[in-house]
Structure formats: C-alpha cells, structure tokens
Structure 1
Amino acid sequence: MRRRTLSALFTTSRSMFSQANSAQFNAKEIVRKDLERVTERIGKELDVCRLPGLKHASQYYFKKQGKLFRPLVALLMARACNKTQLKSNSEVTEEQLTVAMVSEMIHTATLVHDDVIDQAQTRRGQPVSHLVWGTKKSVFSGDYILARSSIALSRIGNPFVVELLAHVLDSLVKGEVMQLGTRETTADRFAHYMEKTFRKTASLLALSCQAVALLAGTSQSVSDLAYQYGRNLGIAFQLVDDMLDFVSTSDILGKPVAADLKLGLATAPVLFASETYPELDSLILRRFSQPNDVEKAWDAVKNSDGLQRTRDLAAQYTSDAVTCAQGLAYSHESALLIALVQEILSRKA
C-alpha cells in the first residue's frame, strides 16, 4: 500500500475530530481519572515495603511525577481497542489499567538504573536518586520497583500478557548491553543503533499496546496494529529525543545538552553526519573519549544534514503510526492516538 504523506494523514485526523465535534477533548483529559488511578496504585504497590529506606528510595522519582507518557498511550490504546471490539463502551478494565501501571513502573525503574550507570546529576529538575540515597540503595530501589511491577502483573492472570511484558525486560536489558558497543561499518552501525532504539525505548510501548489490545479480546490483526503503533511511535519518540539533544537547551530539555555525546553514544544525527564527515568514524569507535571529540562531533552534526535526516526518519515512523491508528474503529481515543503522533514531531522536551 502506498504510504500517504504525513500532512494528508493529519488532515484526515483533524477532519475526524471535526465530524465528531470533539475538538474540546484532549488525550490526558479523556484518561485523566485512569491516570490518577495508575499513580494511586503505584503508590500502594510501593507502600507495602516495611523497610523505610527502600520504600522512600523507590518512591522518590514518583513523587515528582513525570509526563506519564507510556501509561497515557496504553490507556488510549486500551480504550480504542475496547471501542473497536465492543463497538460501544470504551472503559478501561482493571487488567488493562494494570498494564498501564506496570509500563510506568518499568520505565521508572530503568531511569533509576540508567542514572546510576550514566552518573547523571539531575532528573526532572531534582538531584538523581543515587545522589540522595546512595548508589547501592538506588540500584536496589530500581530492582524493587521491577519486583513490585512483576507481582502486580501476575495478578492479571493471563499467561500470554504476562509473557509479553516479561519480554519487555528481556529487550531492555539487551538494549542496554547493545548501547555499550558499536559497529565498524556505517551500515552495520546504523542497524545496530535502530535495534538498540527499539529494545530500549519502543519495545515497552509496542508490547504494552499489544497487551491491552489482547485484553480487549481483539483479533490478531487488531493486536498487530496496536503493536506496530507502539513500535513506530516509540522509535519516532527516540529519534526526536536524539535530535533535541542537539537543538534544545538544558532548561527546556530538563537534562544537559550533548548528553549522549558525553556518554560516548553516537545517535542518529551523528551517524548521518558521519556520511558527510568520515573523520567522525574514529571518534565514534573510541566513543568520543579524547579531548575535543565531543566538540568536533557537535560541529559536524550542526554543519551537516544529520538533524534534518533524523527528523525525516522520525516523520516516516510517525506516518506509519498514524496508519496503524487509522486501522482501528473510529473513536475519540483513536483520533487522539493520531494526535499524539503530531505532538511527537513538534515536541521541545
């Protein structure tokens, strides 16, 4: 099937909103009560710990709430699939709510661990967990969040859904290990980067969307659409994030700019720039570890088409995500899944 242009797909989405007279709706408002239930249930899951230090450390990142992007996507997909399957009621089931909750807990646990590995200093405008609680307790708190998310997941009672979200953890760990290495040739390097991006970012969205679709009792074709929507959205999200590392400011982004370069990571803008500036290859292989390597890579990206090509690639994935969402029965929720895609390309932080 010929891919329609992104602008045409967004025009269709806006038309869908107009026809339904639903312009006053927005994604978070539709699932506001569900998101409140997610945060409340996370608090209860972690509050059972009888060790005060571990309990408070595990709750630390949840105290200053993030954007809740992953549960937002899962909840909208759950409602859209419920509407697709039932043709009327779109209310989220307890099992689907658990998937949304688990997605946020897994994501937050990885942030705790990532901040330790990356020796980060701030997260969401506050000192990182390991600076407050110490490295060991911080690592254990991330482990504890994952443990409680697994216990919550087991209550769903659907072995296939449990297995799906277990694969998220498998994928995340493999993605982290892949991030430690690179490849010799440009083509292999980019394929390595894209697989790592799927594993570290997109797999959680893809499998969470597939899980809530299966819990809605949808057909295999619809659950595949849900999976592909999450996959494409997740990859686009990370591509834009990698681009913002070069074009945003630390105040807007909430973390230091050029953070990836300083960690030795060659993301899409750098990999594209290396096609124009082959001298970047040696810097990439040594992970920008020598004096002025970060500055040289920064200048090469700024003077190449790397940022535009990264944005173009993100647009391709968002286009595919829109096509997947349009395969669902029309509802406010399916239209908002499309609107989320537009927000990804225009996000500043």
Structure 2
Amino acid sequence: MFSQIKLDLKILDSNLKKMIGARHPILYAAAEHLFDAGGKKIRPAIVLLVSKATNTNNKIKNEHKRLAEITEIIHTASLVHDDVIDDCDTRRGIQTVHNTFSNKIAILAGDFLFAQASWYLANLDNLEVVKIISKVITDFAEGEVMQGITNFDTSISIEDYVEKSFYKTASLIAASCKAAVMINHVDENTQRIFYNYGKHIGLAFQIMDDILDITGSETSLGKPAGSDLKNGNLTSPLIFALHNQPELIKLIDREFQEDGDQKKAVELIHRTHAIEKAKDLAIEHAQASLQYLKTYQHNDFIDTLKYISNYIINRIH
C-alpha cells in the first residue's frame, strides 16, 4: 500500500530512535522499547502521502520528513500514557512500558517523548504548524478526561463517543495532514480539504479498532481482546447494543467484576446488529474522507490516499 514512500518510511524508522536520544539509559530504554515493537506507521505514511500529493514536484521536503517523525512520536507518547491509565499488559504484541519498567518510568517516558516532539516541532521554524500540532497534545488530554468521566456510564451517546474519538485519535491525523499542506504553502481551501480527510479517516480507523476490540483475537490485536470493556471504555458496538440488550447495563453497572462478565458482554453484543451499525458508522466516515479527496486534483498519491479509505471500507464489510 505504501510502495511510493517505502524508502521514506524506512528512513523514518531509523530516525525515530536517533530523535529520542535520552541521556539517561533507563529513559532511553523505555522509549526505545515501544519503537522496537514496530507498529503500522499509518500516521506518518499519510503525512508523507499528503506532502507529495500537494507539492507540484511530488517531492517530500525535509520539513515534511520531520513532521512525519514528530507525528509518530506524539502518537507513541500518547500510547505510553494510555497504557498506564488503562493498565494494559501488552501493546503491539510486547509488554507495555509500565509493565517492563514501572508506572513512574512510563509516565516520564511519555512526557519525555512529548517534550522531544515539541522541541523538534519548534525547530521547523513555522509558527502556524507549531500552533496546529501543539493543539493536538491538549486534545489528547481532553479526550482522555472525557473518556475517564464516562467510564461505565451507560448514558453515553454515539455523539459523545465520536467527539471523544476525535480528540483521542482523529485530531492528530487531521492536524498533521493540514500541517503537511501548510509546509507546501498551499491555499487554505486545500488545507481544509486535507484536514477533513485526516479527520474522517482518523475516525474510521478508531471505530474500526473499537470493533476489532470486540471481534478480534489477542494475536491479531497485539493486546488482550475486550480490554475496552474491562476499562469501562464504552465504544460504538457496545453503545449500539445497549438499546437491544438491557442485560448489558447490569454487567456495566458492576464494572464486569464477576467471572465471565466480559465474555458474556461480547456474546450479548453479537446477538444484536450493533457490530453492523458500528461498521456502518466507520464506513460513513471513510466515505466522507473520499468525498473530500474528490474535490482535489488527481495524482498517484491521491489515489493511494483513496486506496486507504477504500481499504477500511473493504476490511470492515
């Protein structure tokens, strides 16, 4: 899927470890631990594709490469903190940072990565890009607070869920897409197009991940299935199922504390059309991302961005 930017992504992989460059070996080891696990690199790949799609020479500037790296560092920092909050045992198939080291080291490693990303961001010498990417870090915090105060709350609406998903996931993709266009000094309408592409593709990805948390296996997810249920994070499949399975409310009210509660909840969700409704919601956002791309001039990199949207649609059918 990313053959056009394969070399760029390979360089990005090697640069990430150089960029974290912590002086204290424990801090470096904690940050390196998660980078060693790999990951899909979807976010930096999208940044690089948007960079090429909106550059008249279809070239990637050094600032674009650094923006892609910053995007992945910010994303990784948020994962380290999320894992502490949710007490996840594994991430990307390996032990989480706080399990390998400690909660304190994991929090400090996450803070360090955010700080490093901010430093490299400032060195782009582009105030508008600094503003839009800096806002993402506050969005992460707002999204985490929104999730925290709605844990095990059966009154949460789909609208609340989508808003939280924007802050926690889509904000970074949307902002980095817009920033990539800004570095190319392209007009505000084009910036808006790619911001909205990133927003909707980000929401589609998040909804799809939430579906897979219910339907996937630990092997495919790289973390235990049903972890959202355990942490009281009520996602779209569960929210849609609540209307048809009142028994779910009892399980949520007792916070899945009894043996078999999580398994029972998954079974109840599968007895409804909730998974299909959640898939429809993801498809709606993937199709919205395609609509924004239709308004932009055609090139090979736009085709790849469209392919990503279609990949999501086909994957969840």
Q: Is the structural similarity TM-score above 0.5? A: yes
- Could you list the runs of 5+ residues in structure 2 that have no partner in the other structure? none
1:231 matched to 2:199? The reply is yes
Report matched runs for 1:6-25 at 5 Å: none
Query: Does the 8 A contact of 1:207 with 1:227 survive in 2?
Result: yes
Question: In structure 2, how many angstroms separate the alpha carbons of the residues matched to 1:303 and 1:194?
Answer: 23
Query: Does the 8 A contact of 1:182 with 1:192 survive in 2?
Result: no
Amino acid at match of 2:24: L
2:113 maps to which residue? 145
Larger relative contact order, structure 1 or 2 (CA cutoff 8 Å, min sep 6): 1
TM-superposed deviation, 1:138: 1.7
Report matched runs for 1:96-245 at 5 Å: 96-182=64-150, 186=155, 189-245=157-213
Percent sequence identity over aligned pairs = 34
Computing the radius of gyration over CA atoms, which structure comes out larger, 1 or 2?
1
Report matched runs for 1:230-309 at 5 Å: 230-281=198-249, 283-284=251-252, 287-289=255-257, 292-309=260-277
TM-superposed deviation, 1:65: 1.5
3-state DSSP of counterpart to 1:157 = coil
Query: Does the 8 A contact of 1:266 with 1:284 survive in 2?
Result: no
3-state DSSP of counterpart to 1:266 = coil
Which string of whole-angstrom CA distances, capped at 9 and with x for unpartnered residues, describes residues 61-87 of structure 1? 1122211110001111111111xxx2x
| RMSD value, Cα | 1.9
- Could you list the runs of 5+ residues in structure 1 that have no partner in the other structure? 1-25
Structure 1 stretch displaced more, 330-339 or 278-287 = 278-287
Which string of whole-angstrom CA distances, capped at 9 and with x for unpartnered residues, describes residues 93-131 of structure 1? 111212111110011111111111222111222211112
If the length of structure 1 is used for normalisation, what is the TM-score? 0.85
Structure 1 stretch displaced more, 55-64 or 222-231 = 55-64
2:4 maps to which residue? 30
Question: In structure 2, how many angstroms separate the alpha carbons of the residues matched to 1:56 and 1:121?
Answer: 18
Amino acid at match of 1:38: L
Query: Does the 8 A contact of 1:81 with 1:328 survive in 2?
Result: no
1:330 maps to which residue? 298
Number of equivalenced pairs? 315
1:61 pairs with one of 26, 31, 34: 34
Question: In structure 2, how many angstroms separate the alpha carbons of the residues matched to 1:206 and 1:333?
Answer: 17
Query: Does the 8 A contact of 2:88 with 2:223 survive in 1?
Result: no
Question: In structure 2, how many angstroms separate the alpha carbons of the residues matched to 1:331 and 1:285?
Answer: 52
TM-superposed deviation, 1:282: 5.1
